Structure 1
Amino acid sequence: MAGEDRVDQVTDVTTTSWLSRLGQAIVGVLVGIAVVIGSGVLLFWNEGHAIKTAQGLTEGAGIVRSVSADRVDPGNDQRLIHVSGMLTAGGPVGDGDFALRIQSLRLLRHVEMYQWQEETHTETRTKFGGGEERTTTYKYVRGWADKPIDSTRFREVRGHTNPVMTYQSREAVASGTHLGAFAVPESLVSGFGEPKPLEATEAQANALQIRIDKPVKVIDGVLYVGRDPSQPAVGDMRITFSQVPLQTASVVALQAGAGLAPFTTHTGTTVELITAGTVPAAAMFKAAQEENVTFTWILRAVGAFVMFIGFALILRPLSVAADVIPILGNIVGAGAGLVAMVCTAALAPLVIALGWLWYRPLIGIAVLIAGAGATYGLMKLARQRVARKAAVAAT
C-alpha cells in the first residue's frame, strides 16, 4: 500500500453546547443512582461470600483426612480427603494443527500477529458559556497482539487493514488424568502448574510453510511466519508452545467413588484445592484462606471505586451548571469530587459493616466506627480544600 495513501494520525474536534451537556448530566444522575445501588449490592455480597468461604475452609480443615494415593479406600467415599502423588495422563496431549503430541498435563499454544493498532487520546476544554470542545486524536501504530484486532472499527480504515489471524492461541488438557489411583477431573487440571517452554522444530516449520504458502522459520524455538523478524510486516506471526509436565501434586477434594470432585460445605461453598508438590493439608487450607482475604480486598476496592463513580455522576449536574463560568465550574467540580469521596467513605464502610453485622456482629460494629472516623476526616479535608479554591478564585 503506497505511503501517500495512508494517514497514520487523524484528529476530530467536536463541540457540545451547555444545554446538551446539562441534559446528559441529568440523565447521568439516573445512571449514577443505579451504579451506587449496584456497587452496594456488590459490597454486601462480597462480605457474605468472604465469610462463607472462610467458614467453609475452616470446616474443611477440621474434617479433612490424608490418605494414600496408592489405593482407593471405599470407607472414605463422600468424605473430604487430602492426597499427594504423581499425576499421570491417560495418553498424550496434542495440537493437531502442528502435529505435536507429548506426554504432559497441558499443552499451550500462544500466537501473536503483527497488526495495526489504534491509539486514542482525548482532550476536553470548557469554553465560556458552558460549551465543551473535545479533541480526539487517533494514532495508528503497528505492534504484536495475541488477539485479532478488528480494523474495520478503526476511525481511519484506509491503509490500516489487518489480515485474518490464521491461527490463534489455544490450550489442550490431557484426558484420563489420575493422581495415583484417583481419577482427577479436568476442572482441577485446567489452569494448574507452571508452563515450561517447548521448542518448535524445523519439521513443524516446513509443514506449516507448505500449508499456508508463506515463509516460516524457527528462531530461538519460536515459529516465525514472515520474511524478516528484524523488520516485521503486518500479518507476520510468532507461534510459541509450552507444556505443564506430569508432576507430583497435592489435592484436597471429595472422594467420589474412584475419583475426586468438589466438596460442598455446610455454608454452600465448595472446596477443591490443588497445588504442586507434596504439601500438607494444613498448608493448603492456609493458602486458600489467604487467597480468600486477597480476593475480598480486591472486590472491596472495586466496589468502593464504582460507588465513587456513581456519586460523581449524581453530582455532575452541579459542576456542569456552574461551567457557564469555567473557573466556577472547576471549583464546583472539585467540591463535588470531594463530596462524592465523602459519600463513598460513609456508605461503603456502612454497607460492608451491614454485611458483617448480618454474619459477624462484633466485627461489623468495629467497621462502622472506622467508617465514621474516615467520613469525619474527609469532610474536614473537603471544607479546607473548597475554602482554599474559593480564596484563589477571589484573588
Structure 2
Amino acid sequence: MAYTETSTTGYGTRVGNSFRAIGSGLLLFVLGTALLWWNEGRAVKTEKMLNEAGNAYVEMENPNKKDASLEGELICGTAMATTEDSLIDAQFGIGAKAIAMHRTVEYYQWVEHAQEKSEDKLGGKEVTTTTYTYSKEWVRRPIDSSQFKDPAYQKKNMVLTTVEDAEQYAENVSFGAYKLSESLIHQISSDEGMELAISEDLLKQFDKAAQTAYERFYGVVKKQQPVQQQQPVQQLLIPDSVRALLSDSAKAVIDSIQAYNDSIKAVTDSLMANAENKKDLAYIHQAGNVLYYGRVPGSPEVGDVRVTFEKVVPAKVTVMAVVDGDSFKPFKAKNGKRFQTLVMGKKSGDEIIDAAKESNNALLWIFRLVGILMVIGGLKGIFGFLSTILKVVPFIANIFGWGIGIVCTVIGIAWSLIIIAIAWLFYRPLLGITLLALAGFLIWVFAFKGKDKLKELAAKAKQKGSATASVTEV
C-alpha cells in the first residue's frame, strides 16, 4: 500500500526560492557553456591524435620475440596475455592463478521509491503530494530503512553480514616476450566464475554468524526435525540349494525384489549423507561462483547477501602502444594527447583506430547534448522568477511559463550553436561559419516571427481573463 505525504509552499516562499534560483541558474549556464567549449576542443584534438596514430603505427609480427628495431615505435600486435601470479582473497581463503580477481556483493533490501506531483493553487500556493512505494530488490549497498517515510517500513532492513566489493590484479602479466603495463592489465575483460574452495571451518563460522544475525532480527526459527535413521533394508538370503529347485520365473521375481531393495538403500544412504553434510550450514550456500548468505537461495528474505567471485583468465588480446624496453607506454601525439589501448581478441590497427574514432564521435554528441540541456536549464533558472511571480493566477502563469520555456529553449540552442561554432573556427573554419549562420537564422526566426506568436498568446490570455471576470460578475 502506498504512503502519501502532502506539503504546501506559500507564495512568498516560492517567489523567494525563484530569486535564489537565479544564482544556481547562472552557474549552470556558465558550466554548460564551458562544457560545450571544452568538448569541441577535446573532440578535435582526439581526432587529430587518432589520425596521427593511424599513420604512425606498425604491425608487430611476432610479439613472442623481442625486436630491438621496434623500440619507441607505436605498434599493433596480438598475443596471449598470461601470468604466473597467484591471487588470494584472504577474507574467504580462496585464490587462483589469474590476471585479476573480482568480488561483487549484493544485498536483498526494502527500497523506497518517491514520486512527486505538484499543483498550483489560486493565490500562489503550491501543494506537493509525494507518494512513497516500497519493493524488495537486490542492491549494491545496505539501505538504512530508519529514514523511510512510511512508519510501517521503518527499521525493516537488516543484513546477515557486510562484505566489501574487492578487486586485485596480477603485477606480472606477459604479452609474448613483453610485459603489460598496469593500465593495460586493467583493460583485460576475460572474466569467468571462480571455483569456491572455502574451508569447512570458515563456512561454519560464516554460518554461525549469519544465524545469529538472522535470529536477532527475525527471532529463533524452529529447527527442522532431523532425518530419522532408517532401518536397514532386509536382504533376501536364499540358499543356493533352494534356489536351484526354483523355476526360472520364480528366480526372476526374487531378483527384481532384490534390485528394488538395493535401489531403496542407495536413495536412503544418499539422503542421510546430504542431511549430515548440511546440518551445520543452514544459512550458507554455495552455487557455482556465488556464496549465498540466507536460508533459501531460491526464495530470498530481507537481509540475504550474495557474493559473486570472478577471475580474469589468460586470453588473446591486441595491444596498440609504444614499445618501451620490455613493456609499453602511451603514444604521445604532436598536440600532447596520449593514446594506448588493449582490446580482446585479434584486431587490426585500422579496426582499432576506426573504433576509437566512433567512440570519440559518440562522446562528442553526448557532451553536446548535456551541454545544451545545461544551458537551457540555466536560462530557465535565471528567468523562472517571472512566471513564479504570476502564480497568483495559475492559468496565466502557466501560459507565461510555457512562453518563457520556449524562449529559453530557442536562445539556449542558439547560444550553444554559437559557442560550438566559435570553438570550431579555431580548427575547421568552414563548419564554424555554417554553424554561425544557422544560429543567426534561429535568432532571426525568434526575433521577427516569434514576436507575433507571443502577441497572439497574450491576446488569448487576455480574452480568457476577461471571460472569467464576466462569469464572476454574473
The letter of the residue matching 2:101 is L
Residue 127 of structure 1: how far off its partner (Å): 1.0
Structure 2 residue 31 is the aligned partner of structure 1 residue 38? yes
Contact 2:207 2:284 (C-alpha < 8 Å) held by counterparts: no
How far off its partner does 1:15 sit?
A: 1.6
Does the aligned pair in 1 maintain the 2:86–2:97 contact within 8 Å? yes
Letter in 2 for 1:361: P
Could you tell me how far apart the structure 1 residues matched to 2:348 and 2:321 are? Answer: 14
| Whole-angstrom CA distance in 2 between matches of 1:233 and 1:120 | 23
* Deviation for aligned residue 1:269: 1.0
Which residues of 2 match residues 61-210 of structure 1 at below 5 A? 61-67=54-60, 68-155=62-149, 158-163=154-159, 166-198=162-194, 200=196, 203=198, 207-210=202-205
Which segment is superposed worse, 373-382 or 119-128? 373-382
- Residue by residue over 1:357-394, the C-alpha shift from the partner in whole angstroms, topping out at 9 and shown as x without a partner, is 12221221122233344555677579658846964872
- Residue of structure 2 equivalent to 1:345: 413
AA paired with 1:370? L
Q: Paired residue for 2:322, among 249, 254, 257?
A: 254
What residue identity is the alignment partner of 1:181? A
Alignment map for 1:237-252 (pairs within 5 Å): 237-252=305-320
Q: What SS does the corresponding residue of 2:314 show, helix, strand or coil?
A: coil
Change (3 A) 1:364 1:153: farther
Q: 1:95 to 1:386 in 2, by over 3 A?
A: farther
Distance in 2, matches of 1:104 and 1:41, equals 44
CA deviations over 1:188-242 (Å, ceiling 9, x no partner): 12143253344546x4687334235231113465322101234322210122223
SS of the aligned residue for 1:171 comes to: strand
Assess, with a 3 A threshold, how the Cα gap between structure 1 residues 17 and 271 changes in structure 2: closer, same or farther: same
User: What SS does the aligned partner of 2:392 have?
Assistant: coil
Quote the sequence identity (%): 29
Is the 8 Å Cα contact of residues 109 and 138 (structure 2) preserved in structure 1?
A: yes
Distance 1:18 1:58, change over 3 A: same
**Larger mean Cα displacement after TM superposition, 352-361 or 385-394:** 385-394
Q: Distance in 2 between matches of 1:174 and 1:382?
A: 66
Worse-matched range after superposition: 208-217 or 299-308: 208-217
The structure-2 alpha-carbon separation of the partners of 1:108 and 1:376, relative to structure 1 and needing over 3 Å to count, comes to: farther
Pairing 1:370–2:363 present: no
For residues 39-96 of structure 1, what are the alpha-carbon distances to aligned partners after superposition, in whole Å with 9 as ceiling and x for unaligned?
Answer: 1001100000101111111111111122231233334333322221111114133323
Distance 1:175 1:377, change over 3 A: farther
Contact 1:195 1:242 in 2 (8 A): yes
Range that drifts further, 248-257 or 209-218: 209-218
Residue 3 of structure 1 corresponds to: none
CA contact (8 A) 1:197 1:241 kept: yes
The equivalent position to 1:48 in structure 2, one of 32, 41, 56, is: 41
Aligned mates of 1:223, 1:205 — CA distance in 2: 13
Aligned-partner residue type, residue 37 of structure 2: F
Q: Secondary structure at the match of 1:266?
A: coil
Change (3 A) 1:179 1:346: same
In 2, Cα distance between equivalents of 1:43 and 1:164? 48
- 1:118 partner letter: E
The amino acid across from 2:25 in the alignment is G
Q: Distance in 2 between matches of 1:267 and 1:329?
A: 52
Q: 98-107 or 78-87, which moves further after superposition?
A: 98-107
How many aligned positions are there? 387
Q: What secondary structure does 1:323 align onto?
A: helix
**Superposition RMSD on alpha carbons, in Å?**
2.6
TM-score (norm 1): 0.89
Partner Cα distance (2:438, 2:349) in 1: 36
Structure 1 residues 377, 184: closer, same or farther in 2, change over 3 A?
Answer: farther
The 1:155–1:260 alpha-carbon spacing in structure 2 relative to 1, beyond 3 Å, is same
Alignment TM-score, normalising by the size of structure 2: 0.75
Q: Are the aligned partners of 2:159 and 2:304 in contact in 1 as well (CA < 8 Å)?
A: no
1:103·1:246 contact (CA, 8 Å) conserved in 2?
Answer: no
Amino acid at match of 1:13: T
Counterpart code for 2:16: G
Paired amino acid for 1:136: T
Instruction: Call closer, same or farther: CA 1:210–1:257 in 2, change over 3 Å.
Output: same
Extract unaligned runs of 5+ from structure 2.
211-282, 468-474
Q: Once the 2 structures are TM-superposed, how far is the Cα of residue 99 of structure 1 from its aligned partner? A: 2.7
Deviation at 1:291, TM superposition (A): 0.7
| Partners of 1:90 and 1:175 within 8 A in 2 | no
Q: Kindly tell me: are residues 353 and 285 of structure 1, through their superposed partners in 2, closer, same or farther at Cα, counting changes over 3 Å?
A: same
- Per-residue deviation, 1:258: 1.3
Q: Cα gap change, 1:34/1:103 in structure 2, threshold over 3 Å: closer, same or farther?
A: same
